[in-house]
Amino acid sequence: MMRVLRCCLLCVLASMAFGTARAAEAPFALTAEYMTDPVGIDVPRPRLAWKLGFHERGAVQRAWQVQVAAAPDAFGSAPLWDSGRVDTADSVHVPYGGPLLAPGQRVYWRVRAWNGADAVSPWSVPAYFEAGLVRPAEWRARWITADPVAAKSAPGPAMLLRRQFRLDRPVVRARLYITSLGVYEAQVNGRQVTDQVLRPGWTSYDKRLHYQTYDVTGHLKQGDNAIGAMLGDGWYRGGIGFNGRDHYGTRRALLAELRVTHADGTATRIVTDDRWRASTGAVLSSDLLQGETYDARLEQPGWAAPGFGDQAWRTVAVLDHPKDALAGQAAPGVRRIMEVRPQRILRTPQGDTVFDFGQNMAGWVRLAVRGPAGTTIRLRHAEVLDKDGNFYTANLRTAAQTHRYTLKGGPGETWEPRFTFQGFRYVAVDGFPGRPGLEALTAIVLHSDLGVPNRWESSHPLLNRLVRNTEWGQRGNFLEVPTDCPQRNERLGWTGDVQVFARTATYNFGSAAFLAKWMDDLAADQKADGSIPFVIPDIVSRKKASIDGAAGWSDAVTVVPWVIYQAYGDRAILARHYGSMKAWVDHVARRAPDGVWNTGFQFGDWLAYQAPAHEARDYPGATTGKDLVATAYFARSADLLARSAAVLGKDSDARHYAALAARVRLAFNREFVTASGRVGENTQTAYALALRFDLLPAEQRAAAARRLAGAVAARKDHLSTGFLGTPALLFALGDHGQIETAWRLLTRETYPSWLYPVKQGATTIWERWDGIRPDGGFQDAAMNSFNHYAYGAVVEWMYAVAAGIDTDPAAPGYRRSIVRPRPGGGLTWVDAAVETPYGRLAARWDLRGGTMRLAVAVPPNTRSTVVLPGAVLEELSLDGEVPPGARQTGNDVTLRIGAGHYLFTYPWRPATPGAAPDGAGDRAAVAAALPK
């Protein structure tokens, strides 16, 4: 059935290429700063983007026109800005050219485009963007709190804040600008103002505190109204990481400003001040790590609605806290993304009643229950069961991940937490009245709203599950910041993890805005000497000032902006963080004046596989010297800085840092490479980094790749790499003549390998190769997360090489793409698609009966270089004939194609082992065929 389906998909894709020409449709998917209809952005000239509704092969945009108006029906009569026809192909990152917006001003915009034949499209459906308050002086609100002055806080009840007010005129427009110290949930007249949770999110609060803007026009009425907010501890003063509470302060506070415009043109402002009232309610405590305690008997129904009696509530205090760190929300918020139903209810040998949701995730559960008032239910969360089938929480360390809900009694109660989240697959239930059924719990998946995932499927079910596990790992850890894990007492933005995973993140989901927001936090927390803390936002060196940055971790400052630039064509990200990138490289240069970085603390190749003693004969030591790893990353960051300087037109810096990178490469070879080509400790990581970062002379690369393949063979086709070596491993092999070794590594199912956890039933990526050992025992509980995405970075190779979809470095953001699949591993088909800034780029190859079929879909306004593996030019067919412009490059055929849908068929002629297309000579031939 699957084979028939694949054939049908290929046939459909091919038929699209030959179908009747369709008229150009209007541009669609309009965005401003990566967001659809953003409200409250603090960007004076937001960059606009759209996708084209052109369908013909080779479709390009010859010109565009943007109109901006104050209302969606005012484009023709009173436009604020009309660009006129602009003769460029740009459809991504196009700067808004109209007048600067006033605080709170909303404008509508539309676009139309001309194709290559100079035919104009219809106008798009209007979109909008709206300015925030922009400047601290625009705020009239004052910080308010009901927390006492204290040197140290303790877990306590959520704070309820409210104010009632009267509007004596009809309302035509209302905006709520709001943020908090802590996390808030806001209501106007008893209605939630947003579906986002855990607002205002987590930033480097001392330097950047996001506020949110909500359109609450429909919430208000003429007459009596009320506004209310509930505050929890959140990241501000609650437990984060392993250093306790109160990382930013001890007093929660609210800052809110409601701006109302009336039908007669007058305005009313309701702001936080000493007229607000405060109380507590049913949330007795809430903590990100420990969970939430809720007593439904203490609810105050209607507390945020008009007419509620708050006479017994106390007055608030005005808090002297600055507003100069306020910034409009710049990334998608955390939302309830999906619901997961439990698959079964277990009774463990130790007597626990456990719900199994079948998927490790981050979020919380919704409880549905009926029972006597005063009954308390306890919900505990865990990722795994032990080998005896018992509920396992030792790896959570001091994170209790426990909720307690006390019933108020009645016909039925439904409850969800508010100010916490858990990492879990299993939930143990105690105290439930009666015997719970599957309907008693529903898992709610929470994460920053990244949109729908891209697609990677193949004929190998375990590889498909590996990709899904990586997607779930990203879901669980892209929650406000890119964390290491969502369950134990950590959940920190470790820079090393996101550095290795960033490119995979862009393959899995649309991650530009999320990563860019985090980079702003990184720049804010960078030290004066250029050093980058290990975690961002920085809560570690706030209590341990001696931390000085480390290779592979702090190098996120150069790697992540470059990834965003390559994946999304975002030159502005390089410009915004160039100073941070430069400061970091200069910092390392001072620490390594001779090019070899051998000073200070280093993580090295973190968690590289080291075999137990009884396996030592088969798996000799896998440790790579920390100074080798550090020097390799020094060269890498210097090179990326030089490339970034060139992109930005900083020619002098480009030359300087290119020369620095060259000097570090020489130092690397002098210190770590022998005359016979042995690199460092002869480990997989040593060769992988040396090859992936182009540290070796050209004449030594093939020999190094053979040594790397030998190191893999010595471990019976198993890997021995850690966090830094693993992402480079398959690329180092495949790019230098060892593609079959790469495929054997990827498809290995026994321990240690990528697929071993999959075979063990993993539904996310493990922190350690041996998180659960073959005997069923666990690794060290002190550090053994089962949702830790770093090793999932292999998915970059699966998209870029196995499926063949990649960017062309000369035209980033997929303006020009490369489609070059590298079949292997016994797979008979791979089907992948990536949503690029221009539209969906897809490639599907199917190899059956000695015939290769490669279907490619290229989005409008882009081009692609297609490399057909194992093809002979004369035997290649596109539309029944040899495609024009194709050329033989070693064992492949290379050609350039424009937008459209294509189906290539040819007899498959695989390369002989060690021959092209895997050698350096073939890589050079392909590079020569790329568009300049």
List, by residue number, the catalytic residues.
490, 767
Give the other-Cβ count within 10 Å of 856's Cβ: 25
How far apart, in whole angstroms, are the C-alpha atoms of residue 117 and residue 274?
Answer: 65
Asked whether 91 and 51 are in contact (CB, 8 A), the reply is yes
Distance between CA atoms of residues 335 and 253, nearest Å: 23
The span from the CA of 400 to the CA of 385, in Å, is 16
The answer to whether residues 855 and 886 touch, using CB atoms and an 8 Å cutoff, is no
Residues 6+ apart with CB under 8 A from 351: none
Closest by CA to 586, choosing from 537, 623, 638, is 638
Amino acid in position 799: Y
Cα–Cα distance, 730 to 583 (Å, whole number): 31
Q: What is the distance of C-alpha 113 from the center of its chain?
A: 31
Q: Which residue has the tokens 């290119």?
A: 658
Task: Tell how far CA 807 is from the center of its chain.
Answer: 18
Dig out the tokens for 449 from the structure. Answer: 């709203």
Rounded Cα–Cα distance for residues 373 and 653 (Å):
70
Helix axis angle for 495-508 and 726-734, nearest 10°, is 50
Contact 767, 785 (CB under 8 A): yes
Q: Return the biggest CA–CA distance within the chain.
A: 88
Beta bridge partners of 68: 81, 109
Instruction: Provide CB contacts within 8 A for 461, sequence distance 6+.
Output: none
Place of tokens 């031939």: 925
CA distance 174 to 46: 23
Question: CA torsion 210→215→217→220, rounded to 10°?
Answer: -40
How crowded is residue 652: how many other Cβ atoms within 10 Å of its Cβ?
A: 8
To which H or E segment does residue 642 belong? helix 626-647
DSSP class of 157: P
Q: What would the two tokens of residue 208 be? A: 């950047």
At residue 79, φ and ψ (nearest 5 deg) are -70, 140
Q: Which helix (H) or strand (E) holds 380?
A: strand 376-382
* Per-residue H/E/C for 796-827: HHHHHHHHCEEEECCECCCCEEEECCCCCCCC
What would the two tokens of residue 544 be? 């341990």
Instruction: Say if residues 691 and 920 touch (Cβ distance below 8 Å).
Output: no
Residue pair 425/488 in contact (Cβ under 8 Å)? The answer is no
d(CA 322, CA 313): 27
Q: What is the number of H-type helices and E-type strands within the chain?
A: 16, 47
Q: What is the C-alpha to C-alpha distance for residues 443 and 446, in angstroms, rounded to an integer?
A: 10
φ, ψ at 289 (rounded to 5°): -95, -35
Of the CA atoms within 13 Å of residue 423, those in its CB half-sphere come to: 34
DSSP for 49-101, please give it.
Answer: EEEEE--STT--EEEEEEEEESSTT-TTT-EEEE---B-----SSEEP-SPPP
Amino acid at 894: T
